Amino acid sequence: MVIALISCSKEKVNYKCPAWELYSASHLFSLSYQYAKKHADKIFILSAKYGLVTENQMLNPYNQTLKEMSRQQQLLWADNVIR
C-alpha cells in the first residue's frame, strides 16, 4: 500500500469543506494532491492546526503555522501526528 503525506498550505479557501478542497487555493498543494491521487492508495494531509487528517475530513479555515509554534508545541504536534 502506498501512502501519501501532503503538507498543508498557508493559502486556503474561506469556507468549511473537505481538507483536499480547503488547501486547493495553493498551486503547490494542488499539484501534490493530483500526483498523490494518481500514485497513492491512501492520502493524508499534515495540518498545522488539526494534525494528520484524511483528504475528505471536513475542516474549518484557520490561520496557524508550525513556524509560529514554540519548539515544545511543535514536538507535541509531532507526537499527536505519530499517534
DSSP element (H, E) containing 53: strand 51-54
pTM score of the predicted model: 0.89
Q: What is the predicted pLDDT for the residue at 81? A: 92
Collapsing DSSP to helix, strand or coil, 74 comes out as helix
**How much is the pLDDT for 29?**
97
Q: For residue 7, what pLDDT is reported? A: 94
**Ranges in the chain, pLDDT < 50:** none
- ∠47-41-46 over CA atoms, to 5°? 5
pLDDT of residue 58: 98
Closest CA to 78 of 51, 50, 41: 51
pLDDT at 46: 97
Mean per-residue pLDDT of the chain: 95
How much is the pLDDT for 74? 94
Amino acid at 1: M
